[in-house]
Amino acid sequence: MTKKGESERALYLAVLSSGFGGIVGVLALIFFTPSIARIAVAFGPPEMFLLGIAGLTVIGALAGGSDLPKSFFSAAFGIVVSAIGVDNMTAGNRFNFGIPSLKMGFDIIAVVLGMFAISEMLLNVTIKEGKITNIKQKKISRIAVVKEIVQNKGMAIRSTLIGVLIGALPGVGATTASFVAYGNAKTLSKHPEEYGNGSGEGIIANECANNAVVGSCLIPLLSLGIPGSGTAAIMLGALTVHGIIPGPELFTKHATVAYTFMYGMLLTVVVMLVIGLFGVNLFKNVVKIDLSYIIPLTIAFSLMGAYANRNSVYDMTCAVIMAFVAVLMKKNSFPIAPMVLGVVLGPIIETNLRTSIVLAGAAKSNLVFFLLRRPICIVLLILVGLLLFFMVRVNKRLGLAKSRALASED
């Protein structure tokens, strides 16, 4: 969007959708914790496996008009990368080629920072002008942006709900929610060809979903004492150190703590929104900064982020390796996003598939019949079927749009 001079619109869209998604997520936490928690535990290993598969179908939408086989390759490559390291279920070493540190595997944070942030900077080195863009950035009123979101209210609400529900499932997380919401918005959109080329819808879907997760990922923690994410695990630790065990008791014995916590979160979302709204005037100047400052700073901060996650220099190495992999992939027009999705969903699909097979064995059945006996699984199977259908349709349309564009250029 910046390349079209619309950086301000993009920023406002991001801030406002984040605020909307964040507030709904926390409200869901405050009002619907028990019922959402019940839905979350109804998702056992077989359901999580199918959910992972449903998530993978998003790659069709992420393909962005480039050919589907290449997206599939990227996703498969991501899944293979996610298998590197010690197997969480049996503690066996996998694909570490005798290198001790490879036992730690490729952490998703290092992969994301390397493939999205650092690789982008490496590619930017080749820009001669020294700026991201020289196009004059247009001004836009906040009201106009709010109107744009209201126009897309159906999609925004859908994305937020996706964020709330996926966020409440332990161990799935914000990355998956964003991808699924984006893919869902794109497949059902009237203008899928605009996604990735300055479409506001993509930003709305993505930001609504990943901020809705912030509140809802605490639902399993507060109601059941199950930490759904790394952040939730740290909160659980902090609470237990003070003698508070999250769970049903939290709302009866320690109601003040529970509600202070929840309203505090609501406050942070509101404050973030306010800071965002007034900060846009500052943030938009980033595009004016010379790339010779942006590139080293972004790389340095990305490496710091990779290190901080597990206090490990090894993760920095991973980020750098993945950055070069991403550059190679981009230069050969392989899309990056499906690969990241593969790394995120790989472990979810794999562990839950293995657990499901063991469970099916205990039930004296095979996997297929075991899945078909579970109602939520049947719903998910239908969903996967529909998603595949839409994926093929969208890609056909994108392919047509592309060839038409090529024809008009001739």
Partner 1 sequence: MRKILTVCIIMIFALCQVFGQGGKDDGASYPSKNIEMIVPYGAGGGTDNAARIIAEALSTELGRQVNVVNRAGAGGEIGFEEIATAEPDGYTIGILGGPDHSYLVNIKETNYSLDDFDNLAVYNLSLPVLVARKGSFSNWDELVEYAKANPGSVTIGCSGGGPITEAAIAMTCGDFDATIVKFSGSADVSSSLLGGHIDLACLTPSYLPTLEANGCVPLIYFSAEKVPGYEDIPSLAELGFDVDMAHNPIVALPTGCPDEVRATLMAALDKIGSDPQIKEKFENLNTVYSYKTGEELQKYLSDMDALIADMVVQYPTLFV
CB of 356 to partner 1, least distance (A): 9
The string of DSSP codes covering 379-392 is HHHHHHHHHHHHHH
155: helix, strand or coil: helix
CB burial class (10 A; 0-12, 13-18, 19+) of residue 247? middle
Cα gap 133→288, rounded to integer Å: 8
Nearer residue to partner 1 within complex by CB, 191 or 373 = 373
CB of 103 to partner 1, least distance (A): 4
What distances in angstroms separate CA 338 from CA 57, 63, 207, one per listed residue?
10, 8, 19
CB of 91 to partner 1, least distance (A): 5
Nearer residue to partner 1 within complex by CB, 104 or 157 = 104
Contacts with partner 1 by CB under 8 A lie at 40-46, 85-86, 88-93, 100-101, 103-105, 170-171, 220, 224-228, 230, 233-238, 240-243, 245-249, 310-312, 347, 351, 354-355, 358-359, 361-364
Nearer residue to partner 1 within complex by CB, 245 or 267 = 245
What distances in angstroms separate CA 360 from CA 51, 253, 271, 396, one per listed residue?
18, 40, 49, 38
CB of 213 to partner 1, least distance (A): 17
Nearer residue to partner 1 within complex by CB, 17 or 352 = 352
Label residues 182-196 b or e (16+ Cβ within 10 Å = b): bbbbbbbbeebbebb
CB of 276 to partner 1, least distance (A): 28
Nearer residue to partner 1 within complex by CB, 144 or 238 = 238
Q: Are 213 and 168 in contact (CB under 8 A)?
A: no
Q: Are 75 and 401 in contact (CB under 8 A)?
A: no
CB of 33 to partner 1, least distance (A): 13
Nearer residue to partner 1 within complex by CB, 135 or 359 = 359
